[in-house]
């Protein structure tokens, strides 16, 4: 499942949704807002998304992960709106029978989400400037 939300991400609650008696492994990834980027001090971050397509494309990524790796459940949640330093911007959780598949699927999902979903981020710097972040890997992928 792929979700775009404007409220706080609660990893513990999301983790509970992946519980399965057949699962021997759980892997998750959290992307946090850090206070610096490329030499600039970051004050906060603003995410803009085109939610209808972000969800469609995110669902596609998750379906690919479920097909590629022997996992039981996979879920991704991405924030939009204004986020403060330390907040969780994206969460990915995967449960599987074994850890290799859980790690691999989790990695696949976050990597694809970053380069395929119509989501943009604008950094607001401590000095008052702001700028859209250009993902170099995304450009390389395109």
132 binds other proteins (CB under 8 A): yes
Q: Which is nearer to other proteins, 19 or 138 (CB)?
A: 138
Site for other proteins in 13-32 (CB under 8 A): 31
52 torsion bin: left (phi>0), alpha (psi -120 to 50), beta (else): alpha
89 binds other proteins (CB under 8 A): yes
134 binds other proteins (CB under 8 A): yes
Identify which range of 11-19, 42-50, 64-72, 97-105 contacts other proteins by CB under 8 A. Answer: 42-50
117 binds other proteins (CB under 8 A): yes
Distance in Å, CB of 28 to other proteins, minimum: 14
- Alpha carbon distance 11, 90 (integer Å): 10
83 binds other proteins (CB under 8 A): no
Identify which range of 17-25, 64-72, 95-103, 111-119 contacts other proteins by CB under 8 A. Answer: 111-119
Bridge partners, residue 132, by sequence: 122
Residues of this chain that interact with other proteins (CB under 8 A) are 31, 47-50, 52-54, 56-57, 78, 89-90, 110, 113-122, 132-135, 138-139, 142
């Amino acid at each position: 499942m792929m979700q775009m939300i404007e409220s706080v991400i609660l990893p513990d609650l999301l983790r509970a949704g992946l519980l399965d008696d057949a699962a021997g492994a759980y892997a998750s990834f959290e992307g946090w807002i850090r206070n610096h980027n490329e030499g600039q001090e970051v004050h906060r971050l603003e995410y803009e998304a085109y939610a209808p397509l972000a969800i469609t494309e995110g669902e596609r990524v998750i379906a690919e992960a479920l097909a590629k790796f022997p996992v039981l459940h996979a879920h991704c949640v991405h924030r939009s709106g204004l986020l403060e330093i330390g907040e969780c911007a994206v969460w990915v959780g995967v449960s599987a029978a074994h850890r290799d598949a859980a790690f691999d699927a989790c990695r696949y999902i976050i990597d694809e989400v970053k380069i395929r979903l119509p989501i943009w981020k604008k950094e607001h710097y401590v000095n008052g400037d702001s700028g859209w972040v250009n993902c170099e890997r995304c450009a390389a992928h395109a």
